[in-house]
Structure 1
Amino acid sequence: MGLAPESINVDSLGLRKLTDKTRKDDCDGDGDGDDDVTETVGCWMKWRFLGSCLTPSSSSKIDGSVSGSSTQLAEENKSSNDTSRDQPVAPVTSSSSSTDAESTPSTPNIVEELKIASQLRKFAFTELKSATRSFRPDNLLGEGGFGCVFKGWINESGPAPVKPGSGLTVAVKTMNHDGLQGHKEWLAEVNYLGDLHHPNLVKLIGYCIEGDQRLLVYEFMPRGSLENHLFRRSLPLPWSTRIKIALGAAKGLAFLHEEAERPVIYRDFKTSNILLDEDYNAKLSDFGLAKDGPEGDKTHVSTRVMGTYGYAAPEYVMTGHLTSKSDVYSFGVVLLEMLTGRRSMDKTRPIGEHNLVEWARPFLRERRRFYRLMDPRLEGQFSIRGAQKAVQLAAHCLTRDAKARPLMSEVVDILNPLPDLKDMAYSSSYFQALQAERANINQAIKNSGRVQVAFPERNGQPNPSPSTPNRPQASSPYHQNHLYRSPKPKV
């Protein structure tokens, strides 16, 4: 969907981080000028070597900025040098009768399936080829499960391409030619984003459907994806910005669940699908896996299980029964990632800490232990009351009983006042003592050259574990969690 440069290593599209679900050999970056260009070229070379996505028949995938692609549970994870990336889970098919639109027709009937809003622009393939300068490598913003995303420039009021740096900057997402599933996701994005309009949803500007070409044109998101800011950039995302992003993303989900004319279940809520504009306003991207919510007296929609490993609700993975509460669970995972600075799945961490939710559960249950969860890179620059409320909210969203999870409108109400709280943790005597103790532990580890045993708790508060000091993130830029994945538009 909307691309953001920083998500990809190319600030302009935000796709650079396009770390999609199942396999992502994308370039990621910090979105810093020269560095981004370098990474983008590196990614281009990699793709070119693979016989990649710069040709119309390419099978590369795009993620992140433009539209974070999702990973199908059934798909095999092809990128496996990176231990930080999770393996996909086997697909789960519900035995109950269902309205699953996921069954693929033998031949797509575009006339019947394409319900495009009149305000969307229709582009010719040659126009988008020209707008991206023939999909040249230095315009590549990222790559994911659906295809590659390129930065382009078009006329402010029409489809005609213009000179780089002039007109309207856009992110052009191409679709891999992997069969009808890619077409179905392309179709879902056009139909949903052509009809849904909200400040916290990425804007779809237009589309191209010409022969076997399927492309989407999104607004350009200059700050890229949340994933890149949390896990790929050297400077930590400030506490106030994290809460602002969480609030914006929550408003986007609340709109889909409770305000849209037809309730929509997003189904692929994760950090790589949350794109940021210049002011760090969050917008949800990639609606390839979205589904209409249950209607009438139905309690759920039965579908083939798809999404991204580490973010999908357990009841959905087990039964294929999809509800809006599945999105609420995914929101809880992302909120926990924002609080801890850890990925939902990280195999580079010690045994017992690979799965973020399972590692965090003991600390979520005890209010006084919330300090153990907080991202050490924040160095106490967070509100104590705000962090406590956010931790409690994450626990509520992650409860195993789906019916007990809050509505997204309730989540928005809880997050609303948090940005204004000023009781910073660094000024508390307890946090200062905790930091001093952590420093001593780190020094002891450094001196001994080996990890020590964890210290016992003192006064009911946990001492930091030797396994959780300020250590650098996994070398993999996208140690992505892939559960299942949605095809992204590809060229």
Structure 2
Amino acid sequence: IAANIDQLTSLCSYLHALQAELEEEMKRLKLELKQTLDMYNETCRKQAREIDHLKSEEACKLEEAKEAQVAAHAMVEKEKQKCKAALEVARMAQQIAELESQKRKRVEQKFLHEAEEMKKAQDAFACSTIPYRRYSIDEIEAATNYFSNSKKIGEGGYGPVYKAYLDHTAVAIKVLRSDMSQGQTQFQQELDVLNRLRHPNVVLLLGACPEYGCLVYEYMENGSLEDRLFCKNRSPPIPWPARFRIAAEIAAALHFFHRSRPEPIVHRDLKPANILLDTNYKSKISDVGLARLVPASVSDSVTQFIMTSAAGTFCYIDPEYQQTGMLNPKSDIYSLGIMLLQIITARPPMGLTHHVERSIEKGNFDDILDPSVNDWPLEEALSFAKLALKCCELRRKDRPDLGSDILPELERLKDFALDYRRRGRFTSRPTSSQESLAVTEEVRRGISDNQSDKVP
């Protein structure tokens, strides 16, 4: 029995020990399970956070994609609007170009009609030489009071010029200097040219005394274009509409020279001093003593007529003609270009093309215009200047044609000026042309009384 009790006691102790171990093992397992659950939960939370972050990023990307799509649609729509506007501008530009083309065609048709009428007149005049009045030296001496200095109104390279009255008409008498070696040649040339041709814008030869080298011209009351541009003797400035008209008149007369038959005439000395103005500021070309008859077979723009020496005035001479002696009608175009620039700037010819080009490049073209005229139409004046610069190209082949390019444009500007004056309103600057026109009568009365008139 005692042995059984001991066994039972031992068994109980073992069971208690086993129970304690089981409890410890259970505690350990519970702890491990708890730790495992905590780790699992933490991992799940971490995964959930990552999933939320990814979802947030995806949502942002989706939003950005939507915004990009909206922006792309807006850009496409904007480009469509730009394209539509560009097409509209192109359409309007095409319409304007068509209108300008139609307007130019009308001007060209008008010019061609006038040129045809002029050609008919030229052909009629070319058939026979126009007789001139021959004056005796006694008549010339009596009219000039024996070449009195009180009658002298000018002095040119050819000789002195006197104002006189012949047949109860005011005339200008140019007398050949006795010491001038080429004077007789120039006298005969001027007599031949002016006796052969008549044009409203070429000074009228009334008569001559060939034996003593005297030429009798109509008297031009307002003197030379040069004197009026530079307001000599405080004469008022020429209004810009009159300047545009004068330019067109000079070009028309020059075109008449170049189209004369049977041989074209090249003036060779075109400059403001050789453009005279009558009472109404109508311009006429004078001093044709240096003019040359160019054979018709060499009067085109490619072939040149070779002269033994160049003649003319420095700054106005065609550079090619000056260097090579080769003359053709486009030699006058260079001189015309310089003179056109002077008409709108009233500046000396030296370096004038450079100054005008620089002013256009710098955008201050209005500063180069004659400041004595305050109402220049800037757009038309700029077109005028650009045409003049083309005329001043160093190479003849680069210069525009007088008949098809220069004259139609100058006629357009002249018509613009006439239309502007009819409407009586000026928009570019405050008006002063009206004031100039108001004093024109004073010019007409006063200039003829002074001694500075420029005559043929």
Using structure 2 for the length normalisation, give the TM-score.
0.61
Give 1:427 deviation, angstroms.
Answer: 5.7
Question: What is aligned with 1:175?
Answer: 176
| Counterparts of 1:140 and 1:385, CA distance in 2 | 43
| Counterparts of 2:292 and 2:130, CA distance in 1 | 22
Give 1:363 deviation, angstroms.
Answer: 3.2
Question: What is aligned with 2:152?
Answer: 140
Give 1:408 deviation, angstroms.
Answer: 2.0
Question: What is aligned with 2:347?
Answer: 342
Give 1:401 deviation, angstroms.
Answer: 2.2
Give 1:395 deviation, angstroms.
Answer: 1.3
Trace 1:249-264 onto structure 2 (pairs within 5 A): 249-264=250-265
Is the CA contact (8 Å cut-off) linking 2:231 and 2:237 kept in structure 1? no
What letter is aligned with 1:425? Answer: S
Question: What is aligned with 2:109?
Answer: none
| CA shift in 2, pair 1:344/1:286, >3 Å | same
Question: What is aligned with 1:425?
Answer: 428
Greater per-residue helix proportion = 2
Is the CA contact (8 Å cut-off) linking 2:132 and 2:208 kept in structure 1? yes
Give 1:180 deviation, angstroms.
Answer: 3.9
Question: What is aligned with 2:376?
Answer: 382
Give 1:209 deviation, angstroms.
Answer: 2.3
* More relative contact order, 1 or 2 (CA 8 Å, 6+ apart): 1
| Counterparts of 1:195 and 1:184, CA distance in 2 | 16
Is the CA contact (8 Å cut-off) linking 1:370 and 1:391 kept in structure 2? no
| Counterparts of 2:251 and 2:245, CA distance in 1 | 10
What letter is aligned with 1:218? Answer: Y
What are the Cα deviations for residues 367-394 of structure 1, in whole angstroms up to 9, with x where unaligned?
A: 9442232112212x11122202101111
What letter is aligned with 1:377? Answer: S
Question: What is aligned with 1:206?
Answer: 207
What letter is aligned with 1:151? Answer: K
What are the Cα deviations for residues 44-76 of structure 1, in whole angstroms up to 9, with x where unaligned?
A: xxxxxxxxxxxxxxxxxxxxxxxxxxxxxxxxx
Give 1:141 deviation, angstroms.
Answer: 1.2
Give 1:260 deviation, angstroms.
Answer: 4.4
What letter is aligned with 1:397? Answer: C
Give 1:259 deviation, angstroms.
Answer: 4.5
Question: What is aligned with 2:358?
Answer: 362
What letter is aligned with 2:217? Answer: Y
Trace 1:26-425 onto structure 2 (pairs within 5 A): 117=129, 119-155=131-167, 167-210=168-211, 213-233=212-232, 234=234, 235-296=236-297, 299-303=303-307, 304-345=309-350, 355-364=351-360, 366=361, 368-379=363-374, 381-409=375-403, 410-419=405-414, 420-421=416-417, 422=420, 424-425=427-428
Structure 1 unmatched runs, 5+? 1-115, 156-166, 346-354, 429-476, 481-487
| Counterparts of 2:243 and 2:399, CA distance in 1 | 22
| Counterparts of 1:415 and 1:312, CA distance in 2 | 22
Give 1:358 deviation, angstroms.
Answer: 2.7
| Counterparts of 1:144 and 1:222, CA distance in 2 | 17
| CA shift in 2, pair 1:168/1:321, >3 Å | same
Give 1:181 deviation, angstroms.
Answer: 0.7
| SS of aligned partner of 2:213 | strand
| CA shift in 2, pair 1:417/1:179, >3 Å | closer
| Counterparts of 1:173 and 1:406, CA distance in 2 | 35
What letter is aligned with 1:384? Answer: L
| Counterparts of 1:208 and 1:219, CA distance in 2 | 15
| Counterparts of 1:336 and 1:282, CA distance in 2 | 17
Structure 1: which 4+ aligned runs deviate by more than 4 Å? none
| SS of aligned partner of 1:393 | helix
| SS of aligned partner of 1:306 | coil
Is the CA contact (8 Å cut-off) linking 1:188 and 1:289 kept in structure 2? yes
| Counterparts of 2:249 and 2:297, CA distance in 1 | 29
Question: What is aligned with 2:51?
Answer: none
| SS of aligned partner of 2:354 | helix
Is the CA contact (8 Å cut-off) linking 1:316 and 1:322 kept in structure 2? yes
What letter is aligned with 2:377? Answer: S
Aligned length: 294
Give 1:179 deviation, angstroms.
Answer: 4.5
Question: What is aligned with 1:432?
Answer: none
What letter is aligned with 2:391? Answer: C
| Counterparts of 2:373 and 2:312, CA distance in 1 | 30
Using structure 1 for the length normalisation, give the TM-score.
0.56
| Counterparts of 1:250 and 1:367, CA distance in 2 | 29
| Counterparts of 1:225 and 1:297, CA distance in 2 | 33
Question: What is aligned with 2:41?
Answer: none
Is the CA contact (8 Å cut-off) linking 2:265 and 2:291 kept in structure 1? yes
Is the CA contact (8 Å cut-off) linking 1:294 and 1:300 kept in structure 2? no
| Counterparts of 2:312 and 2:151, CA distance in 1 | 28
| SS of aligned partner of 2:163 | strand
What are the Cα deviations for residues 270-295 of structure 1, in whole angstroms up to 9, with x where unaligned?
A: 00100011111111001110011243
What letter is aligned with 1:426? Answer: R
Is the CA contact (8 Å cut-off) linking 1:367 and 1:388 kept in structure 2? no
| SS of aligned partner of 1:310 | coil
Question: What is aligned with 1:26?
Answer: none
| Counterparts of 2:384 and 2:311, CA distance in 1 | 28
Is the CA contact (8 Å cut-off) linking 1:256 and 1:263 kept in structure 2? yes
What are the Cα deviations for residues 433-482 of structure 1, in whole angstroms up to 9, with x where unaligned?
A: xxxxxxxxxxxxxxxxxxxxxxxxxxxxxxxxxxxxxxxxxxxx99x9xx
| Counterparts of 2:179 and 2:410, CA distance in 1 | 41
Is the CA contact (8 Å cut-off) linking 2:158 and 2:180 kept in structure 1? no
| CA shift in 2, pair 1:368/1:203, >3 Å | same
| Counterparts of 1:126 and 1:252, CA distance in 2 | 34
| CA shift in 2, pair 1:392/1:179, >3 Å | closer
Give 1:359 deviation, angstroms.
Answer: 2.6
| CA shift in 2, pair 1:118/1:254, >3 Å | closer
Task: Give the fraction of aligned pairs with identical amino acids, expressed as a percent.
Answer: 35
Is the CA contact (8 Å cut-off) linking 2:298 and 2:305 kept in structure 1? no
RMSD between aligned alpha carbons? 2.5
Moved more, 369-378 or 332-341: 369-378
Is the CA contact (8 Å cut-off) linking 1:382 and 1:424 kept in structure 2? no
Is the CA contact (8 Å cut-off) linking 1:196 and 1:260 kept in structure 2? no
